[in-house]
Every structure is written in C-alpha cells, then in structure tokens.
A and B are shown apart, each in its own frame.
Chain A
Amino acid sequence: MMLENEVLAFGETEGDFSAVDKARVIEALSRVLPAGTLMYDAEDLRPYECDGLAAYRALPLVVALPSTEEQVVAVLRICHQMGVPVVARGAGTGLSGGALPHTRGVLLSLARFNRIVALDPLARTAVVQPGVRNLAISEAAAPYGLYYAPDPSSQIACSIGGNVSENAGGVHCLKYGLTVHNLLRVRGVTIEGEIVEIGSGALDSPGYDLLALVTGSEGMLVVLTEVTVKLVPKPQLAQCVLATFDDVVRAGDAVAKIIAAGIIPAGLEMMDQPATAAVEEFVRAGYPLDAKAILLCEADGTPEEVAEEVDRVRAVLQESGASEIRVSRDEAERLRFWAGRKAAFPAAGRISPDYYCMDGTIPRKRIGEILTAIQAMEGKYGLRCMNVFHAGDGNLHPLILFDANQPDELERAEAFGAEILELSVALGGTITGEHGVGLEKINQMCAQFTTAEVRQFFRVKAAFDPPGLLNPGKAIPTLNRCAEYGRMKVSKGHVPYPDIPRF
C-alpha cells in the first residue's frame, strides 16, 4: 500500500548517471584534493578495477585518495552537488564485488586512513581509522594481553572499515560474535557532507540502533572515517580437537550434538573430502585423506576450563561415531591443524585456475542435505566443488572450481553458485552469512525478499542517502532487476512483483 503523500516509488529502476561529465568531475575534485591524490588515467585506475571478486571488473571515472576527514567531506559534497556516484574502498579484499568501481563514479579509497588513533587498555577499546588492517589492531593490543576478536580469513590484509561495511565474521564468531558485536562507535560522513557520530565509548546510544544498521551496510549509507572497537582478553590457552568421519551427515550430526551438550566451542569447522585432499597436498597438515569429512573443534580459556571442555568434546565425538580423534598436544600442532582449514582458499586456487566462493548460511541440521544436493549439482554443471564450512554457525563456503578461459565455464560456475544460494534460502537460511551481497549475489536477493521488503530497504537507504549516490547498484536489487531475473520470492501462490512493469 502506498500512501498519498509518497510521491517516490523507491527502488524501481537503476539510477542513470550517463550525464556525469568526467572533465568537470576532475576539475571540481582537483580543487579540494592535493596533487597526486586524484587519479584519472586508465593505467592509474587499473589497480582499482576489482576487489577480491576478480571475475567482475570495471574502471572508475576517477580514483580519490583523501587522507583527512575534511577532504572526504569536500569530495562527498562535490559528488552530492554534481550527482556523481561514490564507491568507498578499503583494502579491496571483499569477496562479493562490494567495492567494484562505478564506471561513472568516484572510487574513494580510504587506504591512507591507516592510523591507530588511540588504544585504551583499561577501557579495552581501540579507536582506529578505517584503513587499518584487522590484524594490526590485535598486534597493537597484544602487549596488554588483549585482541580484537573477529578474525576473517583475510585478516592479514583486510581493513577494519571493510569489516564494518560487510559485518565480517571469521572462525571464532559462534563464541566471540561478528563485527557488529565488537563495535562501539563509528564516525562517518553522509553523501550530503554531514559528519555523523554513531555510538560512543558507552555500550549503547539513545534513539534507533544506527550502529547496527550501518554495520554490514556495504558502503550504501555513510563513508566511514573512524571506528571504535572493543578489545577482549586473550584466552590463556587454546587447544584443538580434530575428528574424522566416514560420512558427512554423521559429521553434521556430531556438530549438533556438541551444541546440544551445552558446549560453545571457540571454533567449530568442517571440511569435506575434496577440500581435505586439496589442502593436504598444499600444506601437509597431516589430515587423513580417506575421511569423508573432518571436524576441527577448538576450546579456549583457562587451562582448567580447556581440559574440561576437551574431555566433553571428545566424549561427544566418540559417541557420534568419529573414526579418529586427535587432540593438539602443543601450540605448533594446534596451528598445524588450523593451517589446512585456513589454506582452503589458496589450495583451491592451486588446483584450479579459478574458483568461486559461495557464502550461504543454513540451519546446521540441513548440512547433510545441502552437501548431497551440491554433489548432484557438480554433475549437472560439469564442475567440481569443495566444501569448507563454519559448522558452528551454519555458514557454508562451497568453492566451485572452474577455468575462466574455457568457454562458458564462468557462466556455469555462476549458475551453480546461484542454485546453491537459492537452495540455502529454501532450507531456511540466507544467501550470505559474512561476505556481503555486493554485486555478486544481488539477483539472489530477489529470491530472499519480497517487493515490499526490497522497497523498505531502499527507503532505509534514502534515510541516509536521499539521492542514492553511495555505491549505487549494489547490495539491494532494484525491482526491475528482480523482474528481469525472473526468480523471485513467491509467497503463498501470489505472483511475485505483480506491480512492476515486465520487459
């Protein structure tokens, strides 16, 4: 239902930015940016043409490299005034094309915002600029026995600004939470050039929870200039249990049984046989190659706590029919157990020219079902797939192996991925657990949300960005796109998107 006073129907069509004039944009921006921080020649733009999802590439109109908040404000004011799209970029490690440049827009790199502004060990907080690397925060906090908990696998390279924008996870989220659980405050600039402080050093804020709204908003609402994160005490000890299973469904059941026993492990990961084989060849972690699935379960805390938990985990695993159970005897062995899991993506890259990583999340109990379906899809699309799984929180990362130089392999990989994501939704899950929608999964958003919900997302965006200039075309699909994609959420026999024109 539309009320009379709502003149604008949000989110029907993509914005048209064809009138943006490159020469005028360069002229305006060069007045507010120091020499050398505005680039517009093709060879200078090339390094920014994609993020971690290299299959999608585009050259921006210009790249801006501001180093102060005043410069960010000035750039955004100009873009607002001239109607120019802005795509913010951190380290460019994102896996969903969220930082893919807009061909008629400014690519705003925050790489120079790389300072840790303050670290307060007593309050257990760090104030950092958005370009600071995730791991650099933990390194700075280490002398105080503290660390920043979310640890996406790219933590050595990815930036905290990108982590906030994607609500990044990692292997320890079940116990320690996602980015959204570990933030206190962000400071940012709206497209209108207004500086906003969202959150504070306190645990909550008056009014609506804008901190949660901005977290995971994929650069669609504000451009971040500063972030305050929580730091937590480093556990005294961590120990890892490796268990092998001759059946993936049994391994999945073991995961449910660990949770049912009241255990929240620090990490709980699963790999299928193809994934195990690929990483074993790469890192020699000592994984058994004959197992259909392996589970890694980590306990952390005080030595007493860890001993107690490891005993309980071992008992559950035995009862669940594990073929073999190994407990790490020292830190070196624990790291070796993890080395394989952490090397899954590079290993995929080693055995295949290209790979495509999916990110669906499903209720844990459906793991056997989805793995069986994925096996059938391998035949259907003629491509191999290896599966790594954040089993503790139901987040599956199938790695579809393909060769982009072979005719239609990319298309088949994309169709394969789309089918996995749509199945994730059908099984009661979501198309993306931690990598974001970006451009990559934008069509599958149509399968997860109804017209009314998509419209509501556009209204939320407009509350921060009325002209729709921040990262346009990402994260939330226009209704026309959904109509064209033709695979939309059908609710109880109603024709989906009946109220929009079809072409």
Chain B
Amino acid sequence: MTTIEKEWAERVRAAAAARTPLCLRAGGSKDFYGGPLAGEPFDLRANHGVVAYEPTELVVTVRGATPLAELEAVLADRGQYLAFEPPHFGPGATVGGCVGAGLSGPRRANAGAVRDFMLGVKLLDGRGEVLRFGGQVMKNVAGYDISRLVTGSLGTLGILLEVSLKVLPRPVAEATLRFELDEASALRRVNEWGGQPLPVSATLWQDGVLHLRLSGAEAAVQAACARLGGEALAPGAAQALWTAVREQTLPGFAVEEGSVLWRLSVPSTAPALGLPGRQLVEWGGAQRWLAGAADAQAVRARAVELGGHATAFRAGDRAAGVFQPLAAPLAVVHRRLKQAFDPAGIFNPGRLYPEF
C-alpha cells in the first residue's frame, strides 16, 4: 500500500467506526450531478498519476485523481484515445470522477460506454480494505465484475484508488455531415443507418437539423460520405460542434431559472417524447435531452412508457431523487450491495438514491 492508501484506509476505518459520512470529491466538475453533496469533505486530489501505460497492450492504469485532460494528452501522444469520449464538465475533471459518474460522450452508442472500457479497479471499501478486481487484460472472467459495478456508482461503494482502462487507436479519418430533417424522419434515418455497415460515430438532432459523424479508415469514411450525401462541415467546425455536445456548452443544453435538464435514456427507436421543452437527440436516438419545466412525474412516466428511464441531469430538486426509482426487488439488491461494500453507510450518502 502507498502512504496515501494507508492514511486513507485509517481515515475510512475511523469514519466507519464513528459513522461519519464522507463526501468524496476530487476536481468537483460533477458536483452538479446526482443527489446533494453531504458529509465531511474528503479530498481525493493527492492520489494522481499514470501508473502504467502500454500502448501495444491497449491498456492504461491510472490513479483515481489523475486529471482526465492529462490522461487524454498521454494517450494522444501515442495516437490513442478513450473511445467513450468522456465529458469533462469542467477543468478539474479526473479519471476517478469520470468512472464514478459513469458518463459517456457522443461516441457511446457506437463505441461503447465507460463501463465497456473498464478492465480493473483498485478500491478502498468501507471497511478500510484495499481490494483489487479485474486486471490489466482484455478478457477476464475470474470473480464477479466489480470493476463495472463501481462504474457509475457515484462513489457510494468505495474510493477508486486506481482504474485500468482499455484504450483504442484514434480513427484515421473523420467527417461530419448535416441534414435538414424533422424529428421523426431523423429518428428513422439514424436507426436505418445503424443497421448498415457504416462507420457512424455520433449523431445529434436539434431544431430540424441532424448532424452525423463518421469515423474510421479513410476509405470507409469517404465511401460513406459519397453514399449518404448531406452537407459536409469544415473539420474545425465539426470538432467544435462535437466538443460542445460532449461538454453541453451548446445553447440547447442551457438551463434557465426554474427549468430542469432531463436526460432520457430510451430504446433508439422510441418515438418523439411529446413533452414540453427544448430537445436534443443523441446516440442514434437512444439519448434524449429535454430542457424545460415539464412536470417531473410526467417525464419519468413517459420514459418508462417508452421503455427507458429519466434522470434530472441538471438543476431540479436534487434531494427528492435524481434517478428513476428502482423496482422493489432491485432496490433490495442495491441496499444489500451498498451494505456489502460500505456497511457503515459512510460513502457519499444520498448521492445515488436518497435511501442510501
């Protein structure tokens, strides 16, 4: 164990014994996300740095508070990247926060989510034990998949000391096409394209315009552009667009006083939401953003009706619960898992669900 790990293990044991809630936090770029922050501040920033990086193994292992920007720069030097295109949401974003929040960017529907790239984790649990699960290899089925379980758990199961991620070579070529289409036609088109061997890497529909990004081998991108038509964006403009989508700096994501930015995760073929507010559609139709003052119950009910779930992503009454409530048998499993990793209930209480 490193000095930091020893010190933190002591602190966790003391907090568990005294049942002192801890608020795990590094760069604070995702403070807005999930339930309200509660507990004694626990600054994670001291634990940073790349532990191992082997470009030919397609694996990188970093300490939890390694800045996301630093990791991305290290990978870019070797022509590689995080294919799930994680949002930063602020200059302080760390890899631990990225994994803990479990958020993925525009490439998610095609390349996979953070969890799909998680290979291993070193975790400090609520008993003050340092545990390793998974590893640094692509395929590993020894033991339960705890690395993916902690992805998106918002720090409620333990402190991410180290994570190992699968990385990929950057695509050689990229192009973005623009089409004028209404929502229903755009949804149909992106789903049809999804079923064809096309190198689609992101989609965005907003206000009657569909943007489609293609990434891959030069020949494949060129062939797809020729076939699909549309209007090509200049490379600089295209890059600015997808960064603004990833970081939610496009005006469409803005949250006015009294309104909420909802994230609805639904089957890609689900019809238009039909809810009041401003909409952006990503992930080939599978991720729908809704900014406005729609009634929370109505939004959640519509998400369920469409076969998915809704998250009050920004603003709204965080204490009332940000995530879709769980079905009773799953809620029981969640409480037991929380108890298994954090028996004293000290890590980020209320950040995922008000009950724990």
Contact = CB atoms under 8 A, between A and B. Distances in A.
Nearest to A228: B267
Interface string B259-270: 000000111110
Given A3-B344, A194-B329, A209-B115, A236 B197 contact: yes
B219 A308 contact: yes
B330 A203 contact: no
Contact of A364 (B57, B130, B194): B57
Given A200-B307, A233-B197, A445 B141 contact: no
Contacts, number: 277
A200 B308 contact: yes
A121 B194 CA distance: 10
Interface stretch (A15-23, A131-139, A297-305, A335-343): A297-305
Interface in A440-485: 441, 445, 448-450, 452-453, 456-457, 459-464, 466, 475-476
Contacts of B267: 123, 125, 200-202
B138 A302 contact: no
B153 A208 contact: yes
B113 A363 contact: no
A196 B330 contact: yes
Contacts of B128: 1
B197 A234 contact: yes
A449 B143 contact: yes
Contacts of B169: 262-264
A394 B197 contact: no
Interface string A1-28: 1110110000000000000000000000
Interface in B179-232: 188, 191-192, 194-198, 216-220, 222-223
Contacts of B137: 361-363, 393-394, 428-430, 433
Contact of B334 (A200, A207, A395, A430): A207
A456 B148 contact: no
Contact of B112 (A2, A181, A206, A433): A181
B146 A456 contact: yes
A457 B143 contact: yes
Contacts of A123: 191, 267-269
A260 B57 CA distance: 8
Contact of A456 (B102, B168, B197, B341): B341
Assign chain A's interface to a size class.
Answer: 35 or more
Given A3-B16, A216-B141, A453-B133, A209 B340 contact: no
Nearest to A198: B330
B287 interface: yes
B127 A436 contact: no
A177 interface: yes
Contacts of B151: 209, 212
B295 interface: no
A122 B217 contact: no
B234 interface: no
B129 A460 contact: no
B88 to A, nearest CB: 19
Which of B16, B102, B139, B333 has the largest count of A CB atoms less than 10 A from its CB? B139
B135 interface: yes
A181 B148 CA distance: 11
Interface in B300-356: 307-309, 311, 323-324, 326-327, 329-330, 333-334, 336-337, 339-341, 343-344, 352-353
B296 to A, nearest CB: 14
Nearest to B217: A305
Interface in A347-396: 361-365, 390, 392-395
A422 interface: no
A125 B197 CA distance: 16
A206 B326 contact: yes
Contacts of A365: 54, 56-57
Contacts of A276: none
B340 A428 contact: no
A395 B283 CA distance: 32
B311 A206 contact: yes
A433 B217 CA distance: 29
Contacts of A145: 195-197
B112 A215 contact: no
A201, A390, A466: residue with the most chain B Cβ atoms closer than 10 Å: A201
Interface residues of B, number: 91
A307 interface: yes
A203 B168 CA distance: 21
B25 interface: no
B74 interface: no
Contact of B129 (A194, A263, A452, A476): A452
A260 B55 contact: yes
A308 B326 CA distance: 48
A157 interface: no
A196 to B, nearest CB: 5
A204 B265 contact: yes
Interface in A179-204: 180-181, 190, 194-198, 200-204
A461 B333 CA distance: 10
B203 to A, nearest CB: 13
A156 interface: no
Contacts of A202: 265-267, 286, 307-309
Interface stretch (A166-174, A288-296, A317-325): A166-174
Contact of A301 (B148, B197, B307, B343): B197
Contacts of B146: 213, 456, 460
A125 B54 CA distance: 35
Nearest to B9: A1
A51 interface: no
Contacts of B168: 264
A235 B197 contact: yes
A6 B127 CA distance: 11
Of residues A196, A235, A260, which shows the largest number of chain B Cβ atoms within 10 Å of its Cβ?
Answer: A260
Nearest to B138: A393
Nearest to A304: B219
Contact of A302 (B191, B197, B329): B197
A435 B353 CA distance: 36
A213 B141 contact: no
Contacts of B188: 122
28 contacts: A174-B138, A181-B112, A181-B116, A194-B329, A196-B329, A202-B265, A206-B326, A207-B353, A213-B144, A213-B145, A259-B57, A308-B219, A361-B138, A361-B139, A362-B137, A363-B57, A364-B56, A429-B137, A430-B135, A431-B142, A432-B140, A434-B139, A436-B141, A450-B131, A460-B149, A462-B336, A463-B339, A464-B336
Given A202-B286, A206-B324, A461-B144, 5 more contacts: A5-B343, A121-B195, A180-B116, A257-B56, A433-B140
List 4 A-B pairs, minimum CB-CB distance, nearest first. Answer: A304-B219, A212-B148, A262-B169, A201-B267
